[in-house]
Amino acid sequence: MLNYNSPINNQINFNEITVKELSPVMKLNLRGKKREFFTTVGKQLDMILPTEANTSSSSSKLTSIWLSPDEWMIVSNENIEKDTNKYPLEESLYNSISKTNLGAVVDVTDQIVLFELEGSKIYELFSSGSPFNFNDFKEKKGSTTQTLLNNIDVTIHNKGENLVNLFVRRSFSEHLYSWINDSASRL
Amino acid sequence: MFLINCPYCGERDQHEFKAGGEAHIERPKQPTELSDDEWAEYLFMRKNIKGVQFERWNHAHGCRKWFNMVRDTSNDQIKLIYKMGEKPPSE
């Protein structure tokens, strides 16, 4: 088992909002824009990368999140084995994409922390610290956005009614988590 | 506070963006043949006018893509937004 420190030491548990860390979850960053890139990734992931802005696509094992017109984040839906830093999917994508200069594959599993927020007041919490308009976002399952929350870059993924995944850089995660804890206590 | 329509992500708050200075400044093809004054003109001199200006902007806290904007600097009114590589509209 690799030495892995969680950025949080307690689960946030209020009446209408709960927050916990989902870990270990594989996260890969994919970049590319050539046509062969899309066909190769489609075959490897058994899933088409979303080309529409602020959306995601899912298969039984993976979710791909649109980050920009030539950038996506691939996230495993289930927890993974954390005995090693190597993932078969990363290796096969690296061999077929990075090595052939079709694009770039970067493992960001340990760079990015994933929080799961659940409850009827999560969008009130976001509104207290983000300039993003969540009105359309919360109605559409699968929608994603990259924005600021308490001046920290975050990626938010709508998983269902009152359930979102929030991705944040590890170095900001502890600070963001304590801000969420503080803000959620005042809602 | 005003909204900027990112050509990739849609309408977002200005705080997600960073201004990148004047747009459509072409790098001289042979910098070694320029005098110091001409090189300084390219490197440092910007119009910085009061009125309609062509600017580069970056959606720094979103898709991280650069794009061009035509903005009236006197009242922050955005006249036009277009992608990098597209030709600027005639003034």
pLDDT in tens, A108-154: 999 999 999 999 999 999 999 999 999 999 999 999 999 999 999 99
pLDDT of res. A1: 43
pLDDT in tens, A169-183: 999 999 999 999 999
pLDDT of res. A2: 57
pLDDT of res. A86: 82
CB-based contact, A65 to chain B, within 8 Å: no
| pLDDT at residue A31 tops 80 | yes
In order, the DSSP letters of B6-56 are: ETTTEEEEGGG-EEEEES-PPPPS-GGGS-HHHHHHHHH-----SSEEEEE
Are A146 and B62 inside 8 Å of each other by CB? yes
- The whole-model pTM stands at 0.92
How far is the C-alpha of A23 from the C-alpha of A78, rounded, in Å? 9
**What are the chain B neighbours of A53 within 8 Å (beta carbons)?**
8-10, 63
pLDDT of res. B91: 59
What 3-state class would DSSP assign to B78?
strand
pLDDT in tens, A146-167: 999 999 999 999 999 999 999 9
CATH code for the domain defined by B3-83: 3.30.2270.10
Closest residue to A68, CB basis, from B8, B11, B16: B8
How far is the C-alpha of B11 from the C-alpha of B3, rounded, in Å? 6
What separation in angstroms does the CA of A119 have from each of A135, A138, A187? 16, 12, 12
What separation in angstroms does the CA of B28 have from each of A19, B21, B88? 54, 18, 19
Split at pLDDT 50, 70, 90, the class of B28 is very high
| pLDDT at residue A26 tops 60 | yes
List of domains in chain A: 13-185 (3.30.1360.120)
Are A131 and B8 inside 8 Å of each other by CB? no
Ramachandran bin of A16, using left for φ above 0, alpha for ψ from -120 to 50, beta for the remaining angles: alpha
- Residue ranges of the domains in chain B? 3-83
Average pLDDT over residues A81-90: 82
